[in-house]
Amino acid sequence: AQKVTQAQTEISVVEKEDVTLDCVYETRDTTYYLFWYKQPPSGELVFLIRRNSFDEQNEISGRYSWNFQKSTSSFNFTITASQVVDSAVYFCALSEDHDKIIFGKGTRLHILP
């Protein structure tokens, strides 16, 4: 069965610090996709990244970077030089070649000015 664990329920860092959000997943499939979504205080869910199981290259997009390691079943998300606008709940999600996406319970990130 597929499962996504975001062990960090809540994190607070001071602005400009780097922060890493952990995501550990479980799956028996060799083909799967991993996602990160952001939910700012306004409530909407914003897609950040989708990564397939055959692509272990790290991804960087501006201040955001993702580290995918199949050996540890992890797909961690790092924000460099955090800003107050990064304050949000972040969800990691997993989809096998079935009909649905499984979401983790989310990590609430507070960036303190």
Partner 1 sequence: DADVTQTPRNRITKTGKRIMLECSQTKGHDRMYWYRQDPGLGLQLIYYSFDVKDINKGEISDGYSVSRQAQAKFSLSLESAIPNQTALYFCATSEGQASTDTQYFGPGTRLTVL
What distances in angstroms separate CA 49 from CA 14, 92, 113, one per listed residue?
Answer: 25, 10, 26
Q: Which residues pair with 25 in a beta bridge?
A: 4
Q: Does 3 bind partner 1 (CB under 8 A)?
A: no
Based on DSSP, count helices (H) and strands (E) in the chain, helices before strands: 0, 12
Residue 65 beta carbon to partner 1: minimum distance, rounded to whole angstroms: 19
Site for partner 1 in 10-49 (CB under 8 A): 32-33, 35, 37, 43-47
Which residues of the shown chain bind partner 1 in the complex (CB under 8 A)?
A: 9, 32-33, 35, 37, 43-47, 50, 52, 91, 95-101, 103-106
